Amino acid sequence: MEVQKVPVEDDPIPALSDLTTDVVDVIGGYEYAVEHAESDVKPTLEKFLDIHQRHAAELMETVSKTGGHPDSSGSMMGAVHKAVVASQNWFGELDMSTLKGFFDGEERLLSSYDEAAAASDAVPEVNKVVCDQRTELKDLLQKLR
């Protein structure tokens, strides 16, 4: 994908980098949850883990192709997500009752997609990646709720 150069004020890289960080951050929590969840909830968590892993890889590639430097390590929020899931597991609660919390987190992630979509309007190739991922995530969330 050849990405056009845009004026600095239309640069989608900061918002795209923020979105990439947000997606990477949730992966650690899902990895822990899949490993420790009860069997009735594990398939749902695996679907979200899979989509986030694929999206993170595609976003990192897109950031790189637009001239940015993708960071695959995430932020401190990644550790927070994992700690929240671990504390739920400590109380023996990684079951169907915890899905609402995961779904709420997905809604917050959709907001990050909205910000990146708005920031990437001037670069159609980037905007398509962001919007396609947002649609896929929203569809999965609606299907599993």
Report if residue 114 sits inside a domain. yes
Distance CA 58, CA 85 (A): 25
Q: Of 68, 84, 95, 71, which is closest to residue 26 (Cα–Cα)?
A: 84
Model pLDDT, residue 32: 85
pTM above 0.75, yes or no: yes
Report if residue 81 sits inside a domain. yes
Report if residue 50 sits inside a domain. yes
Model pLDDT, residue 98: 78
Measure the N-to-C terminal CA separation of the chain; round to a whole number of Å. 34
Report how far apart, in Å, the C-alpha atoms of 41 and of each of 81, 101, 137, 138 are. Answer: 18, 13, 18, 19
CATH number for the domain spanning 107: value is: 1.20.1260.10
Range of the domain at 121: 11-144
Report if residue 2 sits inside a domain. no
Q: How many domains does the chain have?
A: 1
Model pLDDT, residue 77: 60
Report if residue 62 sits inside a domain. yes
Report if residue 3 sits inside a domain. no
Amino acid at 78: G
Mean pLDDT for back-to-back runs of 10 residues, the chain (145 residues): 51 91 91 86 95 97 87 61 54 71 92 96 95 98 92
Distance CA 140, CA 99 (A): 13
Helix (DSSP H) and strand (DSSP E) numbers for the chain = 5, 0
